[in-house]
Amino acid sequence: MSNSSWLAAVTLMIGTSLALEGHAQTPSRAEQLISYRQAMYTVLGTNFGVMGAVIQGKAPYDAQDFAQRADRVAYMGQMVEEGFPVESRSGAPTKAKPEIWDEKADFDKLLDDMQAKTRALSVAAKGGSLDQVKPAFLAAAQACKACHDRFKEK
Ligand code: ASC
């Protein structure tokens, strides 16, 4: 083989392997948006779950830790609002039902309610009393559940 044929063959091999790798590793726009949404809900749900264990008496109440998690939950509750652009409706495995985009006004109402209840929880948690925090936590949990029941796949 001539020098230039070798060069052409090697160039082709490198190009092909880069193309295959690129295909395997670069997520589509929908995949990126869906994984961003899921990451936000992971942060929200993990912090809420730790608080839930305290409310259920499975973990001790540490007022400062609880209040910090309540702030995170309220913050993430605002943030998840940007997790539902129409381009994220499909394109990767997701439990978000298509009704979110078909019945957007109803979805937004439930999202608003969750935001109000998680903000109220973060305010209540600053009081430092578990008795005060309990009803605020249960109201926030109910708001999460109301939206999941209607718009999240089981
Ligand atoms: C959680 C969690 C939810 C909510 C919901 C409240 O800890 O992961 O999705 O609470 O179950 O009812």
Per-residue pLDDT of the chain (154 residues; tens, 9 = 90+): 555 554 455 444 444 454 555 557 899 999 999 999 999 999 999 999 999 999 999 999 999 999 999 999 999 999 999 999 999 999 999 999 999 999 999 999 999 999 999 999 999 999 999 999 999 999 999 999 999 999 999 9
Q: CB–CB of 137/121 below 8 Å?
A: yes
φ and ψ of 152, to 5 deg: -115, 130
Q: CB–CB of 87/33 below 8 Å?
A: yes
Element (H, E) at 88: none
Residue 41 in contact with ligand 1 by CB distance below 6 A: no
pLDDT of residue 25: 85
Residue 49 in contact with ligand 1 by CB distance below 6 A: yes
Element (H, E) at 91: none
Reading the block at residue 87, the tokens are 């381009």
Whole-model pTM: value is: 0.84
pLDDT of residue 10: 45
pLDDT of residue 6: 45
pLDDT of residue 45: 98
pLDDT of residue 94: 98
pLDDT of residue 148: 98
Residue whose pair of structure tokens reads 């109803």 in the numeric block: 106
Ligand 1 atom having least distance to the Cα of 148? 9
Residue of the CA atom closest to atom 11 of ligand 1 = 145
Residue of the CA atom closest to atom 1 of ligand 1 = 49
Residue 51 in contact with ligand 1 by CB distance below 6 A: no
In angstroms, rounded to a whole number, what is the distance separating the alpha carbons of residues 124 and 67? Answer: 8
Residue whose pair of structure tokens reads 């948006």 in the numeric block: 33
Residue of the CA atom closest to atom 6 of ligand 1 = 141
As separate numbers, helices (DSSP H) first and strands (DSSP E) second, the chain gives 6, 0
Instruction: Choose among 66, 53, 41, 72: nearest CA to 132.
Output: 66
